[in-house]
Amino acid sequence: ASRTALSMARRQALPQHFGHISPRFRTPDVSTWWVAGIAIAWYLIVNQISTNALFDSLTALSLLIAFYYALTGVACAVYYRRHLTESVRNFLLIGLGPVVGAGLLAWLLVRSVIDMSDPANSYSGTSWFGLGPPLVIGIVISLVGVVLMVVWRLRDAVFWQERPSVADPELVHAPARKER
């Protein structure tokens, strides 16, 4: 999550300070602290409700992860689209593989939503609005994300004005770096 925040800050989809890199550790320090703080606060608050509520919230997180990585697989193929036909390797590794992965994750996401809609499949076994708590939590977190996205777009629309791009050929064809 901290590296996602770093990438988003670098593309101006989040405030710039989330893109700060620690000179000592060469990792995203500000976003790491924010993610850690949110995780600790979430744990402390939800665990006070019940352990089952905590487990339900962790189950909800799986929906968001499946959605995020499915989008990432599609984005990979789209970003490298001009290089997919250059070789079988490119087609398999930056085209077919990510798209198949995205399809599998989308299928798992749909299956999970179906399963999580039944309250009996939750850790708590309770019903929230006729649905299982993990699904409700996942929907609420997604809606909060959409609201934050709209607020940021209204505040600073630079990210939204950027045109879609493709991979730089020098990046695709660069020789592999040797590990130190």
Query: Is 80 in the same domain as 102?
Result: yes
From 9, 31, 49, give the residue that closes a domain.
Answer: 49
* Residue 30, domain extent: 1-49
Q: Do residues 107 and 84 both lie within one domain?
A: yes
Under a CB-based contact definition with an 8 Å cutoff, are residues 43 and 54 in contact?
yes
Examine the domain organization and report whether 62 and 116 are in the same domain.
Answer: yes
| 90 and 115 inside one domain | yes
Same domain, 19 and 68: no
Residues 71 and 114 in one domain: yes
Residues 85 and 136 in one domain: yes
Q: Which pLDDT band, with edges at 50, 70 and 90, does 160 fall under? A: confident
For residues 67 and 37, state if they share a domain: no
Cβ contact 68:76 at 8 Å: no
93-130 confidence digits (pLDDT tens): 999 999 999 999 999 999 999 999 999 999 988 999 99
Residue listed under structure tokens 């493709």: 166
Residue 176 pLDDT: 67
Q: How far apart are CA 88 and CA 171, in angstroms?
A: 18
User: Same structural domain for residues 113 and 75?
Assistant: yes
For residue 162, the model assigns a pLDDT of 79
Q: For residue range 29-85, what is the model confidence (pLDDT) as tens digits? A: 999 999 999 999 999 999 898 889 999 999 999 999 999 999 999 999 999 999 999
pLDDT grade for 180, boundaries at 50, 70 and 90: low
The reply to whether 95 falls in a domain is yes
What is the value of pTM for the model shown?
A: 0.78
Q: Is the same domain home to 143 and 100?
A: yes
Higher-scoring residue by pLDDT: 44, 175:
44
Q: Identify whether 163 is part of a domain.
A: no
Shared-domain flag, residues 40 and 107: no
Token pair of 38 as six digits: 């949110």
In a domain, 174, yes or no: no
Tell me: do 100 and 110 sit in the same domain: yes
Q: Considering only CA atoms, which of 40, 20, 39 is closest in space to residue 30?
A: 20
Closest CA to 55 of 141, 156, 140, 125: 125
